[in-house]
Every structure is written in C-alpha cells, then in structure tokens.
Amino acid sequence: MKKFFFKVKFFYFFYKIIKIIRNSKKNYHFAEYGEDIFVRRFFKKHEKGTYIDVGSYHPIKGSLTYDLHKKKWFGINIDLSKISIDLFKIARPNDINLRAAITDYDGKIFYYENSPINQQNSIKITAGSKKIEIDCFQLNTILDKYNITKIDYLNIDTEGNDFKVISTFNFTKFNPTLISIEYNDYDINNLLNSEINKLMNINDYKIVSKFGVTCFYTKNATLLEFEDIMKI
C-alpha cells in the first residue's frame, strides 16, 4: 500500500505531512536529566511491580518513579524532609512514605538541611545548613519491616551518602531488576574504579547507562535480553 502512495504525488505529499505531525509530539520527562524516560522504557512491559525510592524528594518533580506510580505500581518513598514525605502522603497515599535517613546502621544520625524541602539536604556537612537529628536505618531493616521480598526498581539518590546506603544492602535477598544510583563525577574512568561500581560488579550487576549523575545497573543475566527490553 505504501508503494502505491509513494508513486502518487498527491497522496505522497499528505503522507509526508502526517509523518511530520505524528513525530512532532514531545517526549515528556520529570527527572532532571530525563532518566525517567529510560525507566519508563525499561519497564514498558511490566504492568505491576515494586519500587523503592531512597531520597525521593518530590512525588512528581524530579521523580524517577512517577511513571511507575501512574501504572499503579506499589512503592516505598524515603526522604529526610518532613515536607517531602507529607507531599508523598497526599500524592501517593497507597505507598509507604517514610521520613528517615538510610545509611549503614540503625540508630540516630544528624543531617544538614539547606531548606525544609531541598534536593541538597544531606547527611554530609554543608556550610550554612541547619543540623537536625533523625532516625536512621539500613535499607534492609526497612524492607524487612514492611515484608518486601522482591524489588523491581531501586533508586538511590542521597547526595553523597549513596555508597553507605548500598554497602549493607542484601542484593541476593531482594534481587532488584534495575538499580539507579547517583555518582557525581563525569569521568567514566573514575566511575568504573569507584567503590560503588566495584560493589555492584561483585554482586553481579553491570552498568548499562548513565544520565547526568545517575548510573543504571542491571543483572548480568538481564543483559542477554537488554536489547529487546529497550528497543523502540
């Protein structure tokens, strides 16, 4: 049929106009570097699933899990900020929304607040910030408390505390299909030799993409079908 349209100038003209209009639609994203587009495509065939968002910040703005939430996935959202978690309680009432710090032990810790809701709030000391005490946990502790047995997507964005979050994580037990973790360095050699990358490799995860400061990892076994997963 297309060959017929291509031969008739009148039809061919309108064919070209339609192709231009159809492909002029914007591909929306909410995350800072468009990482959620990658997440959306990776899980396009997964109607249900579980996400864990550590350092979740906002239920829509900058969120890598918002598209999954819209697909009715279940999630746990964790952040240092009370305001952030209050927003999640309104926007995602069916999720578990926790105000806490995630690190490599259970107990108490101080975090440093630049403002009540801010992506730069962190356990790392920052000049001019307000020092606040907060409950802290290993990620495993939270997952066990809420009877999570399998994670489809794990996102970690904790402003410099990311290695401590992942260092005590039980990869074998929770077995995430996809993990994204922040690494604030644009030198690929530094990334490949980092503590985070070495730990991921030890646990049978390989980096498959990097958007801005966000690194995506998946299991070696998944790499065999990665091309099919990501194809347009």
**CATH fold of 28-100+142-230, please?**
Rossmann fold (3.40.50)
Alpha-carbon distance 173 to 140, whole Å?
A: 9
Domain locations in the chain as residue ranges: 28-100+142-230
CB 157 within 8 A of CB 33: no
Report the predicted TM-score, pTM, of the whole model to 2 decimal places. Answer: 0.89
Q: What is the pLDDT along the chain (232 residues), one digit of tens a residue?
A: 555 555 666 666 766 677 677 767 777 888 988 999 999 999 999 999 999 999 999 999 999 999 999 999 999 999 999 999 999 999 999 999 999 999 999 999 999 988 877 777 888 888 888 999 999 999 999 999 999 999 999 999 998 899 999 999 999 999 999 999 999 999 999 999 999 999 999 999 999 999 999 999 999 989 888 888 888 7
The total number of residues shown for the chain amounts to 232
Which residues face 204 on adjacent strands?
none
CB 136 within 8 A of CB 106: yes
CB 2 within 8 A of CB 18: no
